[in-house]
Amino acid sequence: MSIVLQDPTEQAGATPRGNTDKLLLALITRLHFLAGLFIGPFILIAALSGLLYALTPQLEYRLYQHLLFTDSRGAVQPLSLQVDAAQRYLGEPAALAAVRPSPGPGLTTRVMFSVPGLDASEHWAVFVDPVTATPLGELTVYGTTGVLPLRSWLGDLHRRLFLGEWGRLYSELAASWLWLMAAGGLLVWRARVRHRRGSMRRPELQRWHSSLGLCLLLGMLFFSATGLTWSKWAGDTIGVARAFAGMATPALNTRLDTSAPADMHAEHHAPLPGVAPQSPVDLTPLDQVLLGARRAGIDAGRIEIRPSGGHDRAWTVTEIDRSWPTQVDAVAIDPRSMQVVDRLEFATYPLAAKLTRWGIDAHMGSLFGWVNQLLLVLTAAGVVIMVMLGYAMWWRRNTRNAGALSSGLITIWGRMTRRSRWGVATAALLLALVMPAFGASVLLLPLFDWVSARGSARSPVRKTL
Q: What is the model's pLDDT at position 19?
A: 79
CB atoms near residue 337 (< 10 Å): 10
What is the rounded CA–CA span in Å between residue 452 and residue 101?
58
Q: What is the model's pLDDT at position 103?
A: 94
- Report, as an integer, the average pLDDT of 263-268: 41
What is the rounded CA–CA span in Å between residue 416 and residue 332?
60
Of all residues in the chain, the percent with pLDDT exceeding 90 is 61
Whether the per-residue pLDDT at 313 is higher than 80: the answer is: yes
Q: What is the model's pLDDT at position 280?
A: 64
Whether the per-residue pLDDT at 186 is higher than 50: the answer is: yes
* 75-89, 144-158, 200-214, range with the lowest pLDDT: 200-214
Domain ranges within the chain, ordered by starting residue? 9-54+161-235+369-397+414-445
- Report, as an integer, the average pLDDT of 272-294: 72
Whether the per-residue pLDDT at 462 is higher than 70: the answer is: no
What is the rounded CA–CA span in Å between residue 197 and residue 448?
33
Q: What is the model's pLDDT at position 17?
A: 44
Q: Which residues contact 408 (CB under 8 A, 6 or more apart)?
A: 30, 446, 449, 450, 453
Closest alpha carbon to 389 in 181, 164, 157, 206: 206
Give the confidence band of 96 by pLDDT, cuts at 50, 70, 90: very high
Closest alpha carbon to 364 in 325, 304, 323, 327: 323
Q: What is the model's pLDDT at position 345?
A: 96
Q: What is the model's pLDDT at position 456?
A: 57
Whether the per-residue pLDDT at 126 is higher than 50: the answer is: yes
Q: What is the model's pLDDT at position 262?
A: 45
Of all residues in the chain, the percent with pLDDT exceeding 70 is 85
* Spatial contact of 31 and 5, defined as CB atoms under 8 Å apart: no
Q: What is the model's pLDDT at position 307?
A: 94
What is the rounded CA–CA span in Å between residue 39 and residue 224?
14
Q: Which residues contact 212 (CB under 8 A, 6 or more apart)?
A: 2, 382, 385, 386, 389
Q: What is the 3-state secondary structure (H, E, C) of the chain?
A: CCCCCCCCHHHHHCCCCCCHHHHHHHHHHHHHHHHHHHCHHHHHHHHHHHHHHHCHHHHHHHHCHHHHECCCCCCCCCHHHHHHHHHHHHCCCCEEEEEECCCCCCECEEEEEECCCCCCCEEEEEEEECCCCEEEEEEEEECCCCECHHHHHHHHHHHHCCCCHHHHHHHHHHHHHHHHHHHHHHHHHHHHHHHHCCCCCCCHHHHHHHHHHHHHHHHHHHHHHHHHHCCCHHHHHHHHHHHHCCCCCCCCCCECCCCCCCCCCHHHHCCCCCCCCCCCCCCCCHHHHHHHHHHCCCCCCCEEEECCCCCCECEEEEECECCCCCECCEEEECCCCCCEEEEECHHHCCHHHHHHHHHHHHHCCCCCHHHHHHHHHHHHHHHHHHHHHHHHHHHHHHHHCCCCCCCCHHHHHHHCCHHHHHHHHHHHHHHHHHCHHHHHHHHHHHHHHHHHHHHHHHCCCCCCC
What is the rounded CA–CA span in Å between residue 91 and residue 74?
28
Whether the per-residue pLDDT at 89 is higher than 90: the answer is: yes
Give the confidence band of 433 by pLDDT, cuts at 50, 70, 90: very high
Higher confidence at residue 399 or residue 418? Answer: 418
- Report, as an integer, the average pLDDT of 395-404: 63
Query: Is cis: bond before 325, omega within 30 of 0?
Result: yes
Whether the per-residue pLDDT at 308 is higher than 80: the answer is: yes
Q: What is the model's pLDDT at position 198?
A: 53
Give the confidence band of 396 by pLDDT, cuts at 50, 70, 90: confident
Tell me the C-alpha to C-alpha distance, in Å, between residue 250 and each of 243, 282, 363. 10, 28, 21
* 39-48, 113-122, 324-333, range with the lowest pLDDT: 113-122
Higher confidence at residue 89 or residue 200? Answer: 89
* Spatial contact of 403 and 454, defined as CB atoms under 8 Å apart: no
Q: What is the model's pLDDT at position 204?
A: 83
- Report, as an integer, the average pLDDT of 205-233: 92
Enter the pTM of the model.
0.83
Whether the per-residue pLDDT at 171 is higher than 90: the answer is: yes
Higher confidence at residue 5 or residue 311? Answer: 311
Q: What is the pLDDT of residues 5-27, one digit of tens each?
A: 444 444 444 444 447 888 999 99
Whether the per-residue pLDDT at 362 is higher than 90: the answer is: yes
Q: How far does the chain reach from its first CA to its final CA, in angstroms?
A: 29
Average pLDDT value over all residues in the chain: 85
Tell me the C-alpha to C-alpha distance, in Å, between residue 48 and each of 42, 169, 174, 234, 387. 10, 17, 12, 22, 11
Q: Cα–Cα–Cα angle for 317, 275, 136, nearest 5°?
A: 60
